[in-house]
Amino acid sequence: MTIELENIYRENCLETMSRMPDDFLDMTITSPPYDDLRDYNGYHFPVEEIADLLYRKTKPGGVVIWVVADRTVNGSESLTSFQHAFEFRRANFKVHDTMLYVKNNPIPSDCGKRYRQMFEYMFCFSKEQPKTFNPITEPTKSAGQKIKAFRITESGRGNVPDEDIGREIKSTRKVGNIFNYNVGTSSSRDKIAFEHPAIFPERLVEDQIKSWTNPGDLVYDCFMGSGTTAKIAHLLKRRWIGSEISQEYVDIAMRRLADHVEHDKILASATTKNGRKASISRLIN
Ligand SMILES: C[S@@+](CC[C@H](N)C(=O)[O-])C[C@H]1O[C@@H](n2cnc3c(N)ncnc32)[C@H](O)[C@@H]1O
């Protein structure tokens, strides 16, 4: 069984994962090709097998961040996102958090008698309880003041436990689980990335990798597309690995990564179309 880090394997992610040892990945962050919204040259993906394999290959305490939305078909939402969530739970993952990724500038579309669609789900599936959590925080408005809160209980307004009364409000608190990001050309400075039709906002990947991993941890993207996960993992000093079934997109990703690691060596391997993988492993460390 051979698997090299800092590679994008040009193949079905099932093949890449089948060569990984069990309990290997600290984190996966990915956006699957759902509901045939885009053709991706006809590639399809079996979510059951992917969920099972991701469970085996994730370390205890590791997480999968699964970014997905629904298509509206015949006037009704597909609920693919929730089908995926149930599938991951069947595969033994815990549904640790259901976060939302809200688009500041969604693509305008005529959505009929419904509000503009402007978010995607960002599920955090965990194998047991997450072993790492570095929460993003924000300043509080009333730092230093005493807590005067009341609590809603089953029978109405209830007392705050004695130990909480008079406790000082801290200067920071965890941000909420709704994240806002720009999409489109303001989501990355890498022009080449937009040759792929559906890229992640870089900030989204940065926030999630920082939250659930530490430097040196291994991050996987089973649908690597234009290489956003690889780029951000590299910049954050995490190890990384990816799968991408389309040679065209592997080439885009490698050309994009060339701007962030040593230029010429990456280009040399990216333009070799015969080999299965495009390697930049020797450039990292
Ligand atoms: C939504 S895009 C991912 C985009 C990526 N997050 C980015 O920032 O560029 C999904 C990608 O999955 C790839 N894909 C589809 N089926 C696959 C499979 N079975 N294994 C690996 N990649 C696959 C498609 O070619 C497409 O590039």
Q: Which of 44, 65, 245, 276 to mutate to test the pocket of ligand 1 (most atoms within 8 A of CB)?
A: 245
Pocket lining: 199 vs ligand 1, CB cutoff 6 Å: yes
Atom index in ligand 1 nearest the CA of residue 44 equals 16
pTM above 0.75, yes or no: yes
Q: With 60 as the cut, is the pLDDT of residue 266 above it? A: no
Pocket lining: 228 vs ligand 1, CB cutoff 6 Å: yes
User: Which residue, 179, 173, 174, is CA-closest to 202?
Assistant: 179
User: Which residue, 245, 248, 197, 202, is CA-closest to 223?
Assistant: 245
User: Which residue, 40, 70, 9, is CA-closest to 196?
Assistant: 40
Tell me how far the alpha carbon of residue 138 lies from the centroid of ligand 1, in angstroms. Answer: 33
User: How confident is the model over 9-35, as pLDDT tens digits?
Assistant: 999 999 999 999 999 999 999 999 876
Pocket lining: 34 vs ligand 1, CB cutoff 6 Å: no
Pocket lining: 17 vs ligand 1, CB cutoff 6 Å: no
19 is written with which tokens? 């060569």
Q: Provide the 10 A C-beta neighbour count for residue 133.
A: 14
Pocket lining: 33 vs ligand 1, CB cutoff 6 Å: yes
Cβ within 8 Å of residue 12, ≥6 positions away: 43, 45, 243, 245
Pocket lining: 188 vs ligand 1, CB cutoff 6 Å: no
Tell me how far the alpha carbon of residue 225 lies from the centroid of ligand 1, in angstroms. Answer: 5
Average pLDDT over residues 38-57: 79
Average pLDDT over residues 48-64: 97
What's the pLDDT at 222? Answer: 96
Tell me how far the alpha carbon of residue 145 lies from the centroid of ligand 1, in angstroms. Answer: 49
Q: With 90 as the cut, is the pLDDT of residue 152 above it? A: no
Atom index in ligand 1 nearest the CA of residue 249 equals 27
pLDDT, greater one: 8 or 157: 8
Cβ within 8 Å of residue 61, ≥6 positions away: 126, 127, 128, 129, 130, 131, 132
What's the pLDDT at 283? Answer: 37
| Whole-angstrom distance, CA of residue 219 vs CA of residue 205 | 11
Average per-residue pLDDT for the chain: 86
Domains present along the chain, CATH in parentheses = 7-136+176-283 (3.40.50.150), 139-174 (no CATH)
pLDDT, greater one: 178 or 272: 178
Pocket lining: 245 vs ligand 1, CB cutoff 6 Å: yes
State the pLDDT confidence band at 284, using cuts at 50, 70 and 90.
very low
Q: Name the residue with the closest Cα to ligand 1, atom 4.
A: 225
State the pLDDT confidence band at 75, using cuts at 50, 70 and 90.
confident
User: How confident is the model over 121-151, as pLDDT tens digits?
Assistant: 999 999 999 999 999 999 998 888 877 666 6
What's the pLDDT at 126? Answer: 98
Q: With 70 as the cut, is the pLDDT of residue 278 above it? A: no
Of 35-39, 72-76, 135-139, 148-152, the one with minimum mean pLDDT is 35-39
The C-alpha R_g of the chain, in whole angstroms, comes to 21
